[in-house]
Chains A and B, each alone.
Chain A
Amino acid sequence: MSPEKLDLLQGTLDVMVLKTLAAMGPMHGYGIARRIEQVSGNEVLLNQGTIYASLVRIEQRGWILSSWGTSENNRKAKFYAITEAGRRQLSREAAYWERLTGVMDKVMAMERRQAEEGELA
């Protein structure tokens, strides 16, 4: 694991899991973990094992459901599916992230502009 990988912010993993399930349909834990790794271009620092704490947390909140099933290569695995409440939560979270990134972009931009103004003065 290279030190340059991104450390996950608290709570972001839950959103990633929800989004993955919303986009990909029912999946098992390993599948979700792999999918996140792939989508992030292997940029996030993810011990695959930590996905299970996240799964149980959001399942207890009623945002996903789980059931045992069989994988494509015939292994018994626990599959997770997003619920209606989960989708609502996801859209709330998505809106939040959009706002936050928007604000972050502006803040970062402001810093550059200020620095430029400082040089001019």
Chain B
Amino acid sequence: MSILRRYRERGRAFLSKAQLDAELEAEIAAHIDLATDENLRLGMTPAEARRQALISFGGMNMAKDQQREARGLMKLDILMQDLRYTVRSLGRDPGFTVVAVLILALGIGANVAVFSVVNTLLLRPLPFPNAEQLVWIAPPPSKCGMSCGTYSTDAYDTFRAQSRSYQDVTGYFAFSGPGNLRLSFGGAPIPATSIDVIQNFFQVLGVQPAMGRAFTPEDARNGAAPVILLSDAWWRRQFNADPAIVGKAFNMNGQLTTVIGVLPKSFDFGAVFSPGAKVDALTPLNLYGPPRDWGNIITMIGRMKPGVPVAQARAEAQFVAPQMCWNNKYAQSCGQYKDAVVPVGLKDYVSGKLRRSLFVLWCAVGGILLIACVNLSNLLLARAAARSKEFAMRGALGASRARIVAQLLTESLVLSTAGAALGLGFAFAVVGWLAHQGAVALPLLTTLHIDGAALGWTVLIAFLTALLFGLLPGLRMASGSLQESLKDSGSGAGQGRKHERLRSVLVVSEVALACVLLVGAGLLLRSFLKVLDVDMGFQPEHAAAVNVDYDDSAPTQLATIAKREVIFQQVLARVGAIPGIQAVGISDYLPLGQNRAWGTPFPKGVKRPDKMPAGPLVYVVTPGYIRAMGTRLRGGRDFTWDDKPTGENVVMIDEAFARFMANYANWPDGNPVGQIVDSNGSDLRIVGVVEDVHEESSEGETGWQIYYPATQASPSGAHLVIRTTLPPDTMAASVMGALRELNPKQTAAEFRPLQTFVDHANSPRRFFLLLVASFSVLGLLLAALGIYGVISYSVNQRTQEIGIRMALGATLGQVQWEVIGKTLKLALVGIALGTIASLLAARAIAALLFGTAPTDPAAFAGMIVLLGGVSLAAGWIPARRASRINPMVALRNN
């Protein structure tokens, strides 16, 4: 108890210092008076009495210090004193302070921003309660896109009923395209995106609507009144955040749909399940209506029971999968999901692929901080050298070594705190900007913000950096011999030399670190250029796509096809006639968008192998589509309007699929054109072969594609593709005008240049490249600053020497060359070491590279030229200054 009490008293004493000091003074004065009185009584003279009293008392200041130390918090007192001193001395040197704080702010800010990204994407659980229980249930990745990543409603029901590991299993309809919801207030419908989810979706995820209610089983029954849940963003944007929206009904897709709730701001479907896409609303999926017969349409998400590990759920799925049927009506479709039901942690599914990239990013930004620390160390060393006499003096006056180190550490702590504060502001800006990069296909990006963990991280790295860059100069200063420093005239004597050597070592390491960053950025840049160079199998330049609304409802299937054909022909004729448009065509799906497969067609009459690979992706297109896309026809012909529904069924396939089939069929010259394939029991004649298209990403392998004519197969929508001579953006108004003239109900759909599809697919790579490149530019600048600092300092130190040499006849060129030579030496050693380190680092990031070897000579040569050039420039400025030294002035100085 008394200990606690004592600390409380000490704290109080620390705060009321002045009053207690005055009291102590009074008490001591009384003591001396009392002692003097007694001595007087003993018969001493007044002077002697007082002298004896003071002698008995002992050291006056020591007694006071002892008392203060006993009563208060001496350490804190010293710290306050050091802080005041630091602030004063930094204030005297504003140039140094500003540069140091800026360097630290950049280093720390970049670190905090990247930490926030890493924390959001990797470290933090997904924004759902008990998110570790959630699993993504899908087959291993395969060639046939989403059709092979989804399950039929029958399969879903079986899985849900048979599995014991889950509290519940839900899912959503995987094939909703952007703009599938048409909201109409009377004028042109407004496009929005909604996803059909199984009614228990929100219960499984643990999400409560911010307003209204979630879906119930009744909402998903046959004949249920249409209802919709709005996303927070759409509710704000489209409905002006109407607080009374729940219960209102709107015309959506031609049906009066009731808003039953608004989702919380923290729930962003796109951020978790379809990065880079904006999902405005969610609607209930009726499992027992038409979707029953649509085949594989559902992606499954499960919430495991508490304590069930993923491995157990995975083992169980092995047993349940063989019982799942594609369609319960067809016994032969049972068992086809064998080995195709694999639960993985939802978090792994969402951001697992990014782990490596984020790790590299983290390393890069750590490198920046290291460079910043080395740089600061260097600056502090230069400053410390200038102050060496001050410290020697303090040492001579009795300051302990620890006290001097503490003083220097206080200084670095003050700097790093200021840097961290500024850096935090900088990080706020960067993170805010990143959170609004909605078009970047990275998960959870929109949920990015600086949170408590990021603040903690800031404090941590502020301390670490202070230690890192403050300790070396501190120890260095405190270890010098007093005598030497006091004698050292500051120009070329022992202490100065030692400092310079240490500073050179620091600069070399800085250059080496910058090297690694530059090589990394160079390799990523080369990879990105390679990705941009990939032949997509279509020409995204000068082409654009827009969603076309049409109504082909008719009593019979033939009538429907006939009606659709007329509409499509009208659209194509009308839009194709607009000046500046070269080619037009329609497809229901587009590459880099959604996809689906309809099984695997195979040469007719040839025995299918036991293990059939997954089928090609299906595109239902009009004549002219492949020309509009810029996909080259390799053999045969495009579709024509003469490929009638009543005529022979025809298809076009891509080269890779043709090659696969040619392996089995005995086609003359392996030429598929004119051959007949069997698909689910019907015959299709191959009339054309087109080049392979990258349908999922620029980087991945191309899959297989098959094209059906829109006059024979049923398209599930219509994307009008136009190829223009003018920039496609400029055509938007006239194309939309033409569409609206033909169909007044045409949605004000987004007119998207094809390039945006490619950019979106490449956006994660572009994003990482941008970050790594800016870090390496930062590293380069810091390294240049470091070189400049050292060379400039050494020129300053040697002003006199240079002056003498010039007085003795050294030429300008000689002086300049010497300074530049010194710079080059530092840079070259740094580059040499950095190259070795880069070779190791490059191997570590090899998996992130595309079409670029880790030893890519261009990246390395670029780095050497860039760093060499920047170093030269950094050395050239002090060299010029050296050559301008006026010998007379230099000699008179000092």
Please report A residues at the B interface, Cβ cutoff 8 Å.
Answer: 28-31, 33-34, 47-50, 52-54, 56-57, 60-63, 71, 73, 75-78, 85
| A30 x B34 contact (CB < 8 A) | yes
CA distance A47 to B54 in the complex (A): 10
Q: Which residue of B lies closest to A71 (CB)?
A: B34
B contacts with A: majority SS: helix
Q: A60-B71, A78-B30 are in contact. Are A53 and B5 (CB under 8 A)?
A: no
| A47 x B30 contact (CB < 8 A) | no
A selection of 18 A-B contacts at a CB cut-off of 8 Å is: A28-B30, A29-B30, A29-B31, A48-B31, A49-B57, A49-B62, A49-B66, A50-B63, A53-B67, A56-B67, A60-B10, A60-B13, A71-B34, A75-B33, A76-B26, A76-B30, A78-B23, A78-B26
| A50 x B58 contact (CB < 8 A) | yes
| A60 x B58 contact (CB < 8 A) | no
In the complex, B27 has a CB within 8 A of chain A: yes
CB proximity of A90 to chain B, nearest CB, Å:
13
CA distance A63 to B58 in the complex (A): 26
A77 partner residues in chain B, CB cutoff 8 A:
27, 30-31, 34
| B5 x A28 contact (CB < 8 A) | no
B33 partner residues in chain A, CB cutoff 8 A:
75
A30 partner residues in chain B, CB cutoff 8 A:
30-31, 34-35
| A49 x B59 contact (CB < 8 A) | yes
B28 partner residues in chain A, CB cutoff 8 A:
49, 52
CA distance A73 to B38 in the complex (A): 10
Contact pattern, B 1-27, Cβ under 8 Å of A = 1, otherwise 0? 011011001100100000000011011
In the complex, B559 has a CB within 8 A of chain A: no
Please report B residues at the A interface, Cβ cutoff 8 Å.
Answer: 2-3, 5-6, 9-10, 13, 23-24, 26-28, 30-31, 33-35, 37-38, 56-60, 62-64, 66-67, 69-71
A52 partner residues in chain B, CB cutoff 8 A:
24, 27-28, 63-64, 66-67
CB proximity of B551 to chain A, nearest CB, Å:
90
Q: When the two chains form the complex, which single residue of A33, A47, A63 contacts B59, counting CB atoms closer than 8 Å?
A: A47
| B6 x A60 contact (CB < 8 A) | yes
CA distance A29 to B9 in the complex (A): 20
Q: Which residue of A lies closest to B60 (CB)?
A: A49
| A48 x B27 contact (CB < 8 A) | no
Q: A75-B33, A78-B27 are in contact. Are A49 and B70 (CB under 8 A)?
A: no
CA distance A56 to B71 in the complex (A): 6
| B2 x A47 contact (CB < 8 A) | no
CB proximity of B66 to chain A, nearest CB, Å:
4
**Additional A-B contact list (14), CB under 8 Å, known A50-B58, A61-B6:** A28-B30, A29-B31, A30-B34, A47-B58, A47-B63, A48-B35, A49-B62, A49-B66, A52-B64, A57-B71, A63-B2, A71-B34, A75-B33, A78-B26
Most buried by A among B28, B38, B66: B66
A contacts with B: majority SS: helix
A49 partner residues in chain B, CB cutoff 8 A:
28, 57-60, 62-64, 66
Most buried by B among A47, A54, A85: A47
Q: Which residue of A lies closest to B35 (CB)?
A: A30
| A53 x B70 contact (CB < 8 A) | yes
A29 partner residues in chain B, CB cutoff 8 A:
27, 30-31
CB proximity of B157 to chain A, nearest CB, Å:
76
CB proximity of A35 to chain B, nearest CB, Å:
12
A54 partner residues in chain B, CB cutoff 8 A:
70
A57 partner residues in chain B, CB cutoff 8 A:
6, 70-71
A62 partner residues in chain B, CB cutoff 8 A:
2, 5
Q: When the two chains form the complex, which single residue of B9, B23, B34, B58 contacts A75, counting CB atoms closer than 8 Å?
A: B34
Most buried by A among B5, B26, B62, B71: B71
A63 partner residues in chain B, CB cutoff 8 A:
2
CA distance A29 to B5 in the complex (A): 23
Q: Which residue of B lies closest to A61 (CB)?
A: B2
CB proximity of B60 to chain A, nearest CB, Å:
7
CB proximity of A29 to chain B, nearest CB, Å:
5
B64 partner residues in chain A, CB cutoff 8 A:
49, 52
Most buried by B among A28, A47, A49: A49
CA distance A28 to B37 in the complex (A): 14
CA distance A76 to B31 in the complex (A): 10
CA distance A96 to B23 in the complex (A): 34
B60 partner residues in chain A, CB cutoff 8 A:
49
B24 partner residues in chain A, CB cutoff 8 A:
52
B71 partner residues in chain A, CB cutoff 8 A:
56-57, 60
A61 partner residues in chain B, CB cutoff 8 A:
2-3, 5-6
B66 partner residues in chain A, CB cutoff 8 A:
49-50, 52-53
Q: Which residue of A lies closest to B9 (CB)?
A: A60
CA distance A73 to B9 in the complex (A): 32
| B30 x A75 contact (CB < 8 A) | yes
CB proximity of A72 to chain B, nearest CB, Å:
10
CB proximity of A20 to chain B, nearest CB, Å:
15
Q: Which residue of B lies closest to A74 (CB)?
A: B37
B9 partner residues in chain A, CB cutoff 8 A:
60
